Amino acid sequence: MKNYFRLLQFLKDHKKLFFIAIFLMAISSFFEGFQFTLIVPLMDRIFTNQPIVLPQQVPGFVRDIVDTLNQTDRTKLFWMMPLGVFLILFLKNFIGFWYGYIMNSISQRVIQDIRNRLYDKILSLSLDYFSVKRSGELISRITNDVLLVENAISYGTTDMFRQPLTILIFVAIIFMTYAKAAFIIFLIFPLIAIPMSQIGRKLRKLSKSTQENMADINSHLLETITGIRVVKAFCAEEHEIKKMEGQNREFYKLKMKAIKRFLLINPLTEMMGAVCGIIMIVWLGKEVMEGKLSTGVFILFFGSFMSLISPIKKISNVNAITQQALAANERIYEVLDAKPTVVERPSANVLPVMKDKISLEQVFFQYDAESGLVLKDINLEIKKGELVAIVGPTGTGKSTLASLVPRFYDSTKGAVKIDGINLREVSFTSLRGQIGIVAQETILFNDTVKNNIAYGHRGATQSQIEEAAKKAYAHQFIIKMPKGYETVVGDRGFRLSGGEKQRISIARAILKNPPILILDEATSHLDSESEKYVQEALDKLMQGRTVIAIAHRLSTIKKADKIVVLEHGRIVGMGKHDQLLQTCNLYSRLYQTQFQE
């Protein structure tokens, strides 16, 4: 129930429109029941010219209406009837159109709100969240799961209110027509409700499994499409196709189990209604034959009773749709309830431009309990204008150490400071605005070259963008592209070479003009010609800046003012190249095996 109320919370911002829709539903339901009562004068007074005969126990106002109809000339009734039917049908359908339109408008607004909230939340979460959640799974929450919630609101919520109102109208007609026989109604509800609730519970479990399976499919699609070069390079197409076929087969099985239970709802409801209908025909038909009940009244009673079957079926379907939505709602709230581990304080200060140094003081760090300590007792000073190279074996914490400076992660223990100010006390904007990052894996967006260079600096002029591109040695190849700076680079820069992507990334950093620069050796995966241009661009970028470089190249290491050697998350050596060759065994081994060019 708590989960259902959380689902309804999405309607909170649209409650005014929602209550208008409910009001219109009530009026439409009234007209739907009222039009049915016209059968009585049509059958008894107009077609058979017989008086309307009701049981003795009916409300007084009903008896008054019947007496008036019995005394009205049948010819007059005949000409009044078509006008009354047309008017009621027009009003019912006019109102039905508007409540349907309003409810669909609400559902689309809610879906828009949920998608925006999910996207906002995902972007606000810390990097450690993405280390345990797959991209395809998160995309599935925004696409597939949200569509199930849309169904629950546009159709489910409409029927959740509309059908009970319709049932109440027909139940009222039945009781006012023949209260004694109305107890049959109470037979049908438990007979239908018990199996429906069991089907609903099973559907909810199946729906959650189906949605998780769809997340697996989305993840697989995203991985293979973005990694298509690797798939083709290793001739792994057949393996990936078989993997996708297996996931699709599992999805099919789960979906068919849910469909089978969903399809059971209609026949079960109709069969229970049919049993009750047969009982009613046998019982009340005898009273019609004995003249205790007129034909029109019998048809009204029987028709009203059978009219309950459709809304009951729809409510049963609503239960199935709602169960699927509740499973999706749980997955949506898993994201919405997630807490970022790195948060900006409400009263965060603005960090002044760096004047002296970056310092890491007795820093320890671990991702979670399972990972153990990644960094241990790190003490490091990086003075303004210094180039500090971080070296060490793979998996020793080099990238993690560099990621603490822009506060992608917070240290588990100890403090990271700039000019003596703890980074936990400053705003993200004032901190990250001072830091540029050029990584091995260049991320470009499916946008123009111009917008990729100006990313995060949207106010940049064309001349500023071109100047940054020239400093990054990118201008010459950009102007040769089909539309120059307006050329779309493709998904993740697919249309560009590795060297071209890196130079656009460097141009982006140059345009930002940050005082602090973090480099995860950007030339390590490039051919020698591309490396030459990228290295020259990096040299220009590094001029006059404080640089933290995760270094793999000897050329970068030799230029460093300070080299930090990491092993198993600890600093085991610090100094210049020649000094470390003499004093640090690990650095000497790395030089022999990795750094020599």
The tens digit of pLDDT for each residue in 307-333 reads 777 787 777 777 777 777 787 888 888
Average pLDDT over every residue of 270-277: 72
Q: Which of 313-327, 487-501, 518-532, 563-577 has the highest mean pLDDT?
A: 563-577
pLDDT band at 419 (very low <50, low <70, confident <90, very high): very high
Looking at the structure, tell me whether residues 326 and 390 fall in a common domain: no
pLDDT band at 3 (very low <50, low <70, confident <90, very high): low
Among 336, 365, 388, where does a domain finish? 336
Q: Hey, what are 279's tokens?
A: 């009982």
Residue-by-residue DSSP string for 105-174: HHHHHHHHHHHHHHHHHHHHS-HHHHTTS-HHHHHHIIIIIHHHHHHIIIIIIHHHHHHHHHHHHHHHHH
Q: Give the pLDDT confidence score for residue 56 in this predicted structure.
A: 58
DSSP 446: S
Looking at the structure, tell me whether residues 330 and 368 fall in a common domain: no
Please state, in angstroms and rounded to a whole number, the distance separating the CA atoms of residues 345 and 494. Answer: 39
Q: Are the C-beta atoms of 389 and 562 separated by less than 8 Å?
A: yes
Q: Which of 141-145, 274-278, 566-570 has the highest mean pLDDT?
A: 566-570
Please state, in angstroms and rounded to a whole number, the distance separating the CA atoms of residues 351 and 246. Answer: 53
Looking at the structure, tell me whether residues 489 and 457 fall in a common domain: yes
Looking at the structure, tell me whether residues 385 and 317 fall in a common domain: no
Give me the percent of the chain exceeding a pLDDT of 90.
10
Residue 341 located in a structural domain: no
Please state, in angstroms and rounded to a whole number, the distance separating the CA atoms of residues 574 and 566. Answer: 9
DSSP 181: G
Residue 195 located in a structural domain: yes
pLDDT in tens, 4-53: 677 777 788 888 888 898 888 888 888 877 777 777 777 767 777 777 76
Among 336, 369, 391, where does a domain finish? 336
Please provide residue 365's backbone torsions phi and psi, each rounded to the nearest 5 degrees.
Answer: -150, 140
CATH of the domain at 522: 3.40.50.300
Looking at the structure, tell me whether residues 17 and 153 fall in a common domain: yes
Local structure of 517: helix, strand or coil: strand
Q: Hey, what are 169's tokens?
A: 């109208």
Residue 132 located in a structural domain: yes
pLDDT band at 364 (very low <50, low <70, confident <90, very high): very high
Looking at the structure, tell me whether residues 383 and 309 fall in a common domain: no
For the cut 80, the answer to whether the pLDDT of residue 574 exceeds it is yes
Local structure of 573: helix, strand or coil: strand
Q: Give the pLDDT confidence score for residue 564 in this predicted structure.
A: 93
Looking at the structure, tell me whether residues 331 and 392 fall in a common domain: no
Lowest mean pLDDT, pick from 173-177, 233-237, 246-250: 233-237
Q: Give the pLDDT confidence score for residue 524 in this predicted structure.
A: 54
For the cut 90, the answer to whether the pLDDT of residue 153 exceeds it is no
Residue 343 located in a structural domain: no
Q: Give the pLDDT confidence score for residue 527 in this predicted structure.
A: 57
Residue 350 located in a structural domain: no
Q: Give the pLDDT confidence score for residue 571 in this predicted structure.
A: 92
Looking at the structure, tell me whether residues 506 and 549 fall in a common domain: yes
Q: Are the C-beta atoms of 297 and 174 separated by less than 8 Å?
A: no
Looking at the structure, tell me whether residues 220 and 282 fall in a common domain: yes
For the cut 60, the answer to whether the pLDDT of residue 355 exceeds it is yes
Average pLDDT over every residue of 518-538: 68
| Mean pLDDT, the chain, integer | 81
Lowest mean pLDDT, pick from 60-64, 205-209, 319-323: 60-64
For the cut 80, the answer to whether the pLDDT of residue 437 exceeds it is yes
For the cut 90, the answer to whether the pLDDT of residue 168 exceeds it is no
Strands 357-365 and 375-383: antiparallel
Looking at the structure, tell me whether residues 181 and 257 fall in a common domain: yes
pLDDT in tens, 441-459: 777 888 888 988 888 787 8
Nearest to 66 by CA among 54, 74, 57, 78: 54
For the cut 60, the answer to whether the pLDDT of residue 158 exceeds it is yes
Neighbours of 274 (CB within 10 A): 12
Please report, for the chain, how many H helices and E strands are present, in that order. 24, 10
Residue 488 located in a structural domain: yes
Average pLDDT over every residue of 264-288: 73
* Boundaries of domain holding 141: 2-336
Local structure of 349: helix, strand or coil: strand
Looking at the structure, tell me whether residues 49 and 81 fall in a common domain: yes
For the cut 90, the answer to whether the pLDDT of residue 416 exceeds it is yes
Q: Hey, what are 130's tokens?
A: 């993405």
CATH of the domain at 138: 1.20.1560.10
Residue 518 located in a structural domain: yes
Q: Give the pLDDT confidence score for residue 528 in this predicted structure.
A: 61
Residue 406 located in a structural domain: yes
Among 336, 368, 388, where does a domain finish? 336
The gap between the terminal CA atoms of the chain, to the nearest Å, is 66
The total number of structural domains in the chain stands at: 2
Lowest mean pLDDT, pick from 63-67, 235-239, 497-501, 529-533: 529-533
Looking at the structure, tell me whether residues 395 and 457 fall in a common domain: yes
pLDDT band at 230 (very low <50, low <70, confident <90, very high): low
- Cα dihedral across residues 251, 254, 260, 263: positive or negative: negative
**Which pTM does this prediction carry?**
0.72
